[in-house]
Amino acid sequence: MNTASPDRSPLIALRDPRSPAAEAYRTLRTNIQFSSLDKPLHTLLATSTAPDEGKSTTIANLAVTMAQAEQRVILVDCDLHRPTLHTLFGLPNDAGLTSLILAQEDAEIPLLDTGVPGLSLLASGPLPPRPADILGSRRMEAVIGRLRSQADIVLFDTPPVIAVTDAAVLATRVDGVLLVLQAKKTNRERARRARQMLEKVKANIVGVVLNNAELERGYGYYG
């Protein structure tokens, strides 16, 4: 059960859908859709340069806006060091990705109902000793294939790319990567290093998200 106060939820796309922040997530959704007109994205990964840059909040809000646009969305917590997505939606983490990988290949996918029509969550499950080995395994490749068959788009939350190899490993198996940065916190050298690490594995970086940027005076939208 979600014990977080609704007015403090980081899921701004649900809490305050008419806010400039929620509109920014819808703009991100639209930009991703237009960036992939020639080759539609069915799998998208979010990573950052360091902890606490907002990648989990970003991918969760993006997932909500995509589901609100009547897409079938599966959100997967691949941060097997510090899983967060289940807490954002107030859901348990007893079973999830790691449970599925260790189960029989035809085992039921333990998807969780987020309460948002069209949006399901595959939590991380119990944390393993070597996350990168799991994300780089053939079983993981098979899981991605199964998830793709059940959704219009699958979104993956991964650890910071500089901290561990997990994001770079998984980036080779998805259609696109979002790099999440935070204004006044992420320095340019760290951002450059993260980009280079992703480019080294030939990841398709579809965009960069800058969190906590100051809005220009007079910013607004009609609705």
**24 is a domain residue:** no
- The pLDDT of residue 216 is 52
Looking at the structure of the chain, the number of domains it has is 1
Residue 220 has pLDDT above 50, yes or no: no
Report the range of poorest mean pLDDT among 21-25, 169-173, 219-223: 219-223
- Neighbouring residues of 82: CB distance < 8 A, sequence distance ≥ 6: 51, 159
Report which of 135, 194, 134, 178 is spatially closest to residue 43, judged by C-alpha positions: 178
90: its two tokens: 């107030």
Spell out a b/e string for 41-57, using b for 16 or more CB atoms within 10 Å of the CB, else e: bbbbbbbbbbeebbbbb
Model pTM? 0.91
- What is the structure's pLDDT at 35? 78
Report yes or no on 21 lying in a domain.
no
- Residue 194 maps to a domain: yes
Distance from C-alpha of 135 to C-alpha of 86, rounded to nearest angstrom: 19
Residue 173 within any structural domain of the chain: yes
How many Cα atoms sit within 13 Å of 113 on the Cβ side? 3
CATH number at residue 41: 3.40.50.300
Residue 123 lies in domain? 37-211
CA distance 36 to 82: 30
Across the chain, mean pLDDT equals 90
pLDDT-based confidence at 215, cuts 50/70/90? low
User: Is 165 contained in some domain?
Assistant: yes
pLDDT in tens, 15-37: 999 999 999 999 999 999 887 77
Q: Is residue 18 domain-resident?
A: no
Using alpha carbons only, give the angle 200, 148, 142 rounded to the nearest 5 degrees.
70
More confident residue, 215 or 193: 193
Biggest CA-to-CA distance, the chain = 56
User: Rounded to an integer, what distance in angstroms lies between the CA atom of residue 219 and that of residue 154?
Assistant: 31
Question: Residues 61-105: pLDDT tens digits?
Answer: 999 999 999 999 999 999 999 999 999 999 999 999 999 999 988
d(CA 185, CA 181): 8
Q: For the chain, list the strands marked E by DSSP.
A: 43-48, 73-77, 112-113, 119-122, 153-157, 176-182, 205-211
Q: Within a domain: residue 190?
A: yes
The answer to whether residue 8 is domain-embedded is no
